[in-house]
Amino acid sequence: MAIDKDAVAALDERRLGPEHKSLPPAAWGLSVREYLDTAPHLDDLATPVLTVDAAAMESNLAVMADWTRAAGVRLAPHGKTTMAPRLWERQLTAGAWGITLATGWQAQVARSFGVDRILLANALVDPVALQWVAAELAAHPEFEFLCWADSVATVELMDRVLESAPRTDRLTVLVELGGPHGRTGARSVQRGLEIAAAISASKRLRLGGVGGYEGALAHDRTDGALAAVHGYLDDLTRLHGEIAAAGMYPGAAVITAGGSAYPELVVEHLAGLADEDGARGVATTVVLRSGAYLIHDDGFYAGISPLAAGHTERPLRSAMHGWARTVSRPEPELALLDAGKRDLPFDEGLPVPQRIAGPAVRALPAGATVSALNDQHTFLRLPGAAPHEVPVGSVVRLGLSHPCTAFDKWRLIPVIDDADAERPRVVDLLHTFF
């Protein structure tokens, strides 16, 4: 799949300014390329700052590309995790089948960078976005777009909106299957079949497969959670089989599931359905949509992913860190750092203090933990520590949880060569579009 490499490369010519959090005044007015030519280091940046570790990210890219290839499934990484076209380019170059997105606007951003296969893991009922998609498909024969529908009402609404849109027969819709107490998605296989029939009857939509998200039904690896995921994937398999048996697919089909928490279960249930040349009937592509793997983390995904350290010989590595400066030691066992909810993710767990950074890299006092985040402050608890152990002005490296809500707080993210180095070098700057 393609992306406009020139559009991505043009990001290096964008000018830097005070709107780019953490960059020093010395960078203002320079292009990204010109600033990187000055060979900056992490300690040239202001705190707080979020960074991406280049080596860890490259390792993760290779691990997932090899893993999906060996499993016999395609990968359409969820681009909303990073909203970083430069990273989408890397993922597509590594063999990704397409880019997954969640909203019409995100799809528009991806198209502006030339992404030519987009899987929208959501229903598309907004008239502005629907008409834009129809026009884009009509104007660009190479563009492929797939979205979901989880009710007959959704299909009927799409039909009505598309009556006034440019004519196209390539707007591909997948039946979305959900589950009890989950998020969106039809709540039964029977309801899914009714939706498939409605799409088939449409003159403007093409029935293109089935999809869903098992991560909405579980949040850990307890027996009950795993049973819910297995049951859901069984139902997804059944829905695809019954649609195919009924002859409703007009051509090739896609079956897609999978976040970053249970990809091995998706492979276990769905990989055997892959039949891209149609030798066994309907030509079927199995697509995994994991997105968090590229950055991974030191929290939620480190604890649940089957590709995390301790579960595989080639584990994913956390490629993101927060760096925050001690601004106050108002109590003997408390340090306040200059990062907060505006800077770091907190929805899947608070940051984990890892070490004191700088020329004299050293461990934090035993028992150091983050107890809370305010808008602009981190509460670092230091049981039994003396003030000189984490003095005012010292920089603390923080492990983070959930890349999806880390990237959205930064419009420009420094990439460093090695987060474990004594003085990491800044080797790139990632533009995000949130």
Torsion over CA: 243, 107, 407, 414 (sign): positive
Confirm if 98 and 118 have CB atoms less than 8 A apart. yes
- Amino acid letter at 239? L
Q: Among 290, 295, 177, 297, which Cα is nearest to 238's?
A: 177
The pLDDT of residue 361 = 74
Q: What global pTM score does this model have?
A: 0.96
pLDDT in tens, 69-89: 999 999 999 999 999 999 999
Confirm if 45 and 66 have CB atoms less than 8 A apart. no
Q: Prior bond to 48 cis, omega within 30?
A: yes
Phi, psi of 122 (to 5 degrees): -175, 160
Burial class (CB in 10 A: 0-12, 13-18, 19+), 367: exposed
CA angle 357, 360, 366 (to 5 degrees): 65
CA angle 135, 137, 141 (to 5 degrees): 135
Helices and strands in the chain: count of H runs, count of E runs: 12, 17
Chain Cα centroid distance, residue 266? 17
pLDDT in tens, 369-407: 999 999 999 999 999 988 889 999 999 999 999 999 999
Q: H or E segment at 404?
A: helix 404-407
Domains of the chain: 1-54+296-433 (2.40.37.20), 72-291 (3.20.20.10)
The ranges of the chain with pLDDT < 50 are none
- Amino acid letter at 376? Q
CA distance 376 to 393: 16
Confirm if 130 and 161 have CB atoms less than 8 A apart. yes
The pLDDT of residue 184 = 97
The pLDDT of residue 170 = 86
Q: Among 286, 309, 293, 295, which Cα is nearest to 71's?
A: 286
CA distance 354 to 356: 7
Q: What's the DSSP call for residue 182?
A: S
Which residues touch 303 (CB under 8 Å, ≥6 apart)? none
CA angle 406, 351, 106 (to 5 degrees): 10
Which residues touch 272 (CB under 8 Å, ≥6 apart)? none
Phi, psi of 188 (to 5 degrees): -155, 160
